[in-house]
Structure 1
Amino acid sequence: MTLTVGVLIVLVTVVGAAAQRMAGLGFALLVSPLMTLLLGGHSGVLLVNILGIVSSVLILPRVWRSIDWSMFRWLASFSVVGAALGAWLAQLLEADVMSVAVGAIVLLALGLSAVFTSERITTEPKTPRAIAGLTSGLTNALAGVGGPAVSAYAVLTRWPQVSFAATLQPYFVVTGFASAGAKLALNPTGLPDTAWWYWLIMLAAILLGIAGGEKLLRFVTPTQVRRFVIVLACAGAAATLITGLVGLLN
């Protein structure tokens, strides 16, 4: 890993951690496209999975009281199945093909979520939860972005932002462990080769981002944060799709 690549990864990690603290997601959405470009599809996504776990673990104590544990159990249980399936598919498909498929699926889900209204769909039905969890786990393992699938579900059902952001933290810990564990089991050499002290720098970058995100929360409303979530989800999905298309064309 060159110095330039290392610095870029640290900077985008700070921004991703800040977004994660503010909106409940955003780390992988912002970090994954750059990681994929700099480190390759498999190593980049695996690193995103691991750093995402660390970010969510550090945020978890701050949002514990707002977690919807019933929602978490449904989403997480099905996400583990999706992550196992995604890790297996990741060994069979080219990284660019995975990126195109994930980006297209997520954009479609977000587009459909904008069509429906909260009067017709609520958070009570269990089947949409299962589908959201399965899709999120699958996309997290394939491209390191599990947030857009649950974002589409949150928009579709008008899930309250505070509960949504809090519940995603233990959820991302579970999906991250499932995705990273499955990938390391199938390919133990998947992690990028870097010095031990660089991991300490990455930890400091995540802590700095979380602290910055907490300060920014004082100046924004839940509605603004929800809009930020939607923009992040669309941007992350579009970046993943474009990255894959560029790779295929080249």
Structure 2
Amino acid sequence: MDADWLPSLGLAAAVALGAGTQRITGLGFALVAAPFLVLLLGPFAGILLINVLGVAASVLVLVQVRRDVDVRRGLLLSAPALVAVLPGAWVARNAAPALLQVLVGGCVVVALLVVLVADRRSDTGPGVAAGTAPAVLAGAASGFMNATAGVGGPALTIYAVATRWPQPAFAATAQLCFTVIGSASVAAKGLPSLPAADWVVAAAALAVGLVAGTALSARVAPAAARTAALTLALVGSVATVVDGLLGG
């Protein structure tokens, strides 16, 4: 039985699930899609595709939530991220493929754990003042991890939780940050070299995921969607690490 369609199906499923999660929760596209795209396309091409599609997804979501964007805070987070993208892109270009694959999977696992801890502490303890220093640290971490592993969201999540940033404003402003940071990552690394058919499948899956996410956003509790996304991301990231350790 011919199974040449299986990689395309996997690509479509990863992108659609990531896009739907992004629309419902405000982030999660890379966390869900990155591990699976790395397994399908390799670490460098997979993360590059995540960067490209992440920009497209963020722009489309940004149009819908633009009224809630805090432009000043978004730019404050994005500025240090632009600087940190450069060393992140260098690591992505120069690391051995197996090592980069383990790094990507490991980054996603760590990011998931950090998000889970941040969620547990979101309603306890005093908040941190939303000053320049926390924003610089969060933005720089987001930029480096976006360029290296495609996952810039967790650093911003930690910042949002620590500063008690209201969810609607954070989710909307994060789209601005992802647009800026993702564009810088693509500019620093270039476009992935993929067959035209893969681009068509990815674009179609992105559109389907965003449309489905928009339709479900009023019916699915963000917490439930977030739990499902984190579970999928954990499974994919562990598989990515294991595959990298075995030599890819």
| TM alignment of 1:111-190, pairs within 5 A | 113=118, 114-115=120-121, 119-122=125-128, 124-184=130-190
Give 2:204's aligned residue.
Answer: 204
Q: Please state how far the C-alpha of 1:202 moved relative to its aligned partner.
A: 2.7
1:191 alignment partner, SS class: coil
| Residue in structure 1 matching 2:51, options 49, 52, 56 | 49
Distance verdict in 2 for CA 1:148–1:235, change over 3 Å? farther
CA contact (8 A) 2:55 2:183 kept: yes
Distance verdict in 2 for CA 1:202–1:239, change over 3 Å? closer
Give 1:187's aligned residue.
Answer: none
Structure 1: distance between partners of 2:106 and 2:204: 33
Count of aligned positions: 240
2:126 alignment partner, SS class: coil
Give 1:28's aligned residue.
Answer: 30
1:99 aligned onto 2:100: no
- Provide Cα deviations, 1:214-246, integer angstroms capped at 9, x if missing partner: 1112124xxx42564476457636743552244
1:163 alignment partner, SS class: helix
CA contact (8 A) 2:139 2:156 kept: yes
Give 2:6's aligned residue.
Answer: 4
| Residue in structure 2 matching 1:110, options 91, 94, 115 | 115
Q: Please state how far the C-alpha of 1:49 moved relative to its aligned partner.
A: 0.6
Q: Please state how far the C-alpha of 1:24 moved relative to its aligned partner.
A: 0.9
Q: Please state how far the C-alpha of 1:163 moved relative to its aligned partner.
A: 1.0
Structure 1: distance between partners of 2:243 and 2:103: 13
Task: Out of 4-13 and 231-240, give the one that drifted further.
Answer: 231-240
Distance verdict in 2 for CA 1:37–1:100, change over 3 Å? closer
Q: Please state how far the C-alpha of 1:155 moved relative to its aligned partner.
A: 2.8
CA contact (8 A) 2:86 2:188 kept: yes
**Unpaired stretches in structure 1, ≥5 consecutive residues:** 185-189
Task: Out of 206-215 and 116-125, give the one that drifted further.
Answer: 116-125
- Provide Cα deviations, 1:142-186, integer angstroms capped at 9, x if missing partner: 1111112212222333321111111111211111111111112xx
Task: Give the fraction of aligned pairs with identical amino acids, expressed as a percent.
Answer: 35
Distance verdict in 2 for CA 1:155–1:225, change over 3 Å? farther
Amino acid at match of 1:126: T
- Provide Cα deviations, 1:93-130, integer angstroms capped at 9, x if missing partner: 23134225523542564365345756522452222221
Amino acid at match of 1:145: V
CA contact (8 A) 2:68 2:173 kept: yes
Question: Could you tell me the TM-score, scaled by structure 1's length?
Answer: 0.84
Task: Out of 166-175 and 155-164, give the one that drifted further.
Answer: 155-164
Structure 2: distance between partners of 1:142 and 1:219: 34
